[in-house]
Amino acid sequence: MSVVIGPPAGSAARFLDPVRMAGNLWQHRDLIVRLTGQEVAQRYRGSYLGIVWSFVTPILMLCVYAFVFSIVFQVRWGEGAGGDMRTGQFALTLFAGLIPFGVFSEVVNRAPSIVLGMPNYVKKVVFPLEVLPVVAVASAVVHSLISTLILLVASLAFVGAVSPTVILLPLAYVPLVLLTLGLGWFLASMGVYVRDVGQVIGVLTQVLFFLSPIFYPVSAVPESLRGILYANPLTAILGDFRRTLLWAQAPEWGAWAALSAATAVGAVFGYAWFMQTKKGFADVM
């Protein structure tokens, strides 16, 4: 009599293997790149300016932030690489926080409907559905890089220099990408079975926008309430984006390593959840 040791064939535990997950995504890398390119191009397809809107929109937003907060309200951040910031730097600090939050917001708001929007892939074609959230994350990251380039140019104009630690920016992206991937896989699956998920996520994203230190520094929050901000993974991510892009500082390595590990585990669990539940998608669509 033989004894089988390990999870049963139908168990989600067989997907809890980061090497297997990475291998699966690597196998479909060409498809991911092609779909990401199509999605980036399709966003502005049919418009007169096309991809130029990817530059125009963040430039306009940055100009509005600079005028409203730096000239009208004369706001100072009071935190960063040395005391109060000069006029215009608050707009840069605000914009640097909006870049990672924009990636997060775009992915989690799209995820619940991303599989529902591709019924032909679910019912008629043998298609690796797990790449859809990856494409959503990749597309959001591409647009965030355009905003980052604009921020660096604006930093040169306002401050007269570009932060030398900008070369560490890819490290700041690591926990952001892992966090959005894990949530993307989980929400993409949940959106198929529970159609109200999209509405709930829209509300929660708005709440999280104000519970993240985007418009204000953590030091502005009473100490008794700072635990709420620190429980939000975006707090550390936003901080590392500002350190590397504006403040000529490296990420806080201890917090970065812990958050990267936690979000990596979350990504694996999100992938496992998606892979285990996707076999029932065709039955409910």
Q: Are 178 and 265 contacting, i.e. CB atoms less than 8 angstroms apart?
A: no
Q: Is the pLDDT of residue 7 over 50?
A: no
Is 205 among the domain residues? yes
- Domain-embedded: residue 95: yes
Tokens matching residue 269: 């669990």
Cα(142)–Cα(168) distance, integer angstroms? 17
In this structure, of 112-126, 129-143, 166-180, the range with the lowest mean pLDDT score is 112-126
User: In this structure, what token pair is assigned to residue 239?
Assistant: 């901080």
What is the per-residue pLDDT for 84? 47
> 284 lies in a domain?
no
Work out the average pLDDT over 205-222. 91
Domain range for 167 is 14-279
pLDDT band at 12 (very low <50, low <70, confident <90, very high): low
**Which two three-digit tokens encode residue 246?**
């504006």
User: pLDDT (tens digit, 9 = 90+) per residue, 45-75?
Assistant: 666 666 677 778 787 887 887 777 767 766 6
Residue 147 domain-assigned (yes or no): yes
Task: Provide the pLDDT for residue 3.
Answer: 37
pLDDT confidence of residue 256? 97
- Identity of the residue numbered 149: L
111 within a domain of the structure (yes/no): yes
Query: Domain total for the chain?
Result: 1
* Nearest-angstrom CA–CA distance, 123 and 120: 5
* Domain contains 191: yes
Q: Tens digits of per-residue pLDDT, 261-281?
A: 999 999 999 999 999 999 889
In a domain, 1, yes or no: no
Could you tell me if residue 9 is inside a domain?
A: no
| Residue 43 confidence (pLDDT) | 76
| More reliable by pLDDT, 251 or 122 | 251
pLDDT digits (tens, 9 = 90+) for 220-270: 899 998 999 999 999 999 999 999 999 999 999 999 999 999 999 999 999
CB neighbour list of residue 264: distance below 8 Å, 6 or more residues apart: 18, 178
User: Which DSSP string corresponds to the chain?
Assistant: -----S--TT-GGGG--HHHHHHHHHHTHHHHHHHHHHHHHHTTTTSSSGGGHHHHHHHHHHHHHIIIIIIIS------SSSSSPPTTHHHHHHHHHHHHHHHHHHHHHHHHHHTTT-HHHHHTS---TTHHHHHHHHHHHHHHHHHHHHHHHHHHHHTSS--GGGGGHHHHHHHHHHHHHHHHHHHHHHHHH-TTHHHHHHHHHHHHHHTSTTSS-GGGS-GGGHHHHHTSHHHHHHHHHHHHHTS-----HHHHHHHHHHHHHHHHHHHHHHHHHGGGHHHH-
Mean pLDDT, the chain, as a whole number? 87
**Residue found under tokens 């520094």:** 217
What's residue 1's pLDDT? Answer: 37
